[in-house]
Amino acid sequence: MTSYLTRRLLQMVPLVIGISIIIFLLLAAAPGDPVDLLLFGNPHITADDVVRLKHLYGLDQPLHIRYVKWVWAALHGDLGYSRTYKVPVLSLLWERVGNSLWLQVPAFLIALAVAVPVGITSALRQYSALDYGATFFTFFGLSIPAFWFGIMMIYIFAVAHPWTALPALAWLKFPAGGFNSPGVAAGLPTYVDRVHYVVLPALVLSLLFMASYTRYTRSSMLEVIRQDYIRTARAKGISELTVINRHALRNALIPLVTIVALSIPGLFSGAPLTETVFGWPGIGRLLVDAVLAGDFAVAQGIILFLAGLVIAFNLLADVSYALLDPRIRYD
């Protein structure tokens, strides 16, 4: 395992370099530059000011020099300075990552908690009413636009609130958006209040991944329970619960591990719509705002962070295979 990890880590070096080059070139090729965007609406800027600002931002240097300087600074923990938020990109990034985790972790746990049991039960009861219902749910979850579903959830649970006449369901009213309520005392009240805000966006964000996880769990479990070793285990008189939990489920989870590991970065990169609809100050919304505002230093930092997540969780998925399946060895 050690030699395998060493090889994979060494292989990541040229991959990260290639990704950083693509990120830098794509944003450098975007129309306008930070100085041009800064000058819009300011008629008092002179030609000398433009030259001075381009020199200050390093935009008067060749592209390859700018790339080398950006990479060298990034290796030392300096991703640049946000022209929009007037703070270093790294501090802004970590602040928004923390906010996003408040949304991503519940969404991820909800998706897994619903998808895995439903997918397993659907496979064990193939062609039953539950199976057809799960199939409909997966198509619904994969097809419905996240922004539309978010708007509908806001209308039902925050605006219309059709069950106001039922006191027992009065708690089913949630904020239409935001991160927390103003004036809430620090400490435990802050966290309780934030949970109230996270319910609707977490449900919306979890829907797509929930549907995908259900589909893959069902397909994988169907393939495993038809194997000879499952029939042999049943023929030995082992209880059905033991057969499913100890023999079938462990092998059926291997494809799901790949999907789950690679979808975790997707929780961040796929959240801009959800975060924008609910006004959630996370990294997805920050990426959208940075691109629209031409704050390329922030956009480069976020995209590089998301690419790093994809690489890291890809490696984590490969390592997890050996833990789930004893037949897999990397040495």
Which residue is listed with tokens 């209040």? 193
Strands (E), 164-227: none
CA dist., res. 150 & res. 155, Å (int): 9
DSSP 8-state code for residue 167: G
- Distance, in Å, from the CA atom of 248 to the CA atom of 236, rounded to the nearest integer, reads 15
The domain spans of the chain are 15-78, 96-324
Please list the rounded mean pLDDT of every run of 10 residues in the chain (331 residues).
75 85 81 64 69 74 84 84 84 86 87 88 87 85 84 86 69 81 77 85 86 86 84 82 79 78 71 82 84 82 85 79 64 58
pLDDT of residue 221: 87
User: Would you state the CATH architecture of domain 96-324?
Assistant: Orthogonal Bundle (1.10)
Tell me how far apart the alpha carbons of residues 237 and 242 are, in angstroms, rounded to a whole number: 10
Q: Which residues of 295-326 are buried (b: 16+ CB within 10 A; e: fewer)?
A: bbbbbbbbbbbbbebbbebbbebbebeeeeee
- Fill in the DSSP letter of residue 133: H
Q: Which residue has the tokens 């100050």?
A: 281
CB 127 within 8 A of CB 223: no
How far apart are alpha carbons 84 and 73 in whole angstroms? 20
In angstroms, what is the C-alpha Rg of the chain?
25
DSSP state of 184: P
- CA dist., res. 274 & res. 213, Å (int): 19
Q: What's the CA gap between 275 and 255, in Å, rounded?
A: 29
